[in-house]
Amino acid sequence: MTLTRWQRPENWQWAPLQQLSTLREEIDRLFESPFSLLQEKQPFFTNWGPALDLYEDKDNVYVKAEVPGVNKNDIEISLHEGTLTLSGERKADKRVESAEAIRAERFVGRFSRSVTMPSPIQGEKVTASYRDGILSVVLPKAEGSKPKQIQIKG
């Protein structure tokens, strides 16, 4: 058995700053767009739904939904068995459709959002308005679901 003394390889270099720089670039790339690979291949990431608020008082339920950039004629509202559904479409701007996107964060395409009402609603009296990108829906409660004051006799 022969023992050979260890010698440092001539081309071996330790570049700690270069390794830290490479590590930082990889971490930046990871956090820059964590879902970018999934977005390119998975169609379920392209759907969107408007943010909405739901309020109620003794007479009505109120819904306010953010739908900026959507034409009011492209919005549909339906009430079926206690569930309000808002749906529609935000169309892409024709001027940028053929251009290459550098950054695209706004969702375009069809949307649908459903919310269950906390009380029975008088469907024939529902009203809706649209102003400055906010859709407001007023849903009057059914008479039987409104709170009633009971007088004490005697």
Strands 109-116 and 83-90: antiparallel
Domains of the chain: 16-46 (no CATH), 47-93+108-145 (2.60.40.790)
Q: What confidence score (pLDDT) does residue 127 get? A: 96
pLDDT at 86 over 70: yes
Q: What confidence score (pLDDT) does residue 55 get? A: 95
Q: Vertex 20, ends 14 and 23: CA angle to 5°?
A: 120
Contact 90/107 with Cβ under 8 angstroms? Answer: yes
CB atoms < 10 A from the CB of 135, how many?
21
List the helix and strand counts (H, then E) for the chain.
3, 7
How many CA atoms, within 13 angstroms, populate the side-chain half-sphere of residue 154?
2
**Running DSSP on this structure, what letter comes out for residue 101?**
P
Of residues 32 and 117, the one with the higher pLDDT is 117
Give the global pTM: 0.63
pLDDT of 37-57, one tens digit each?
A: 554 444 444 567 899 999 999
Residue with tokens 């959002």: 113
Confidence band of 33 (pLDDT split at 50, 70, 90) = low
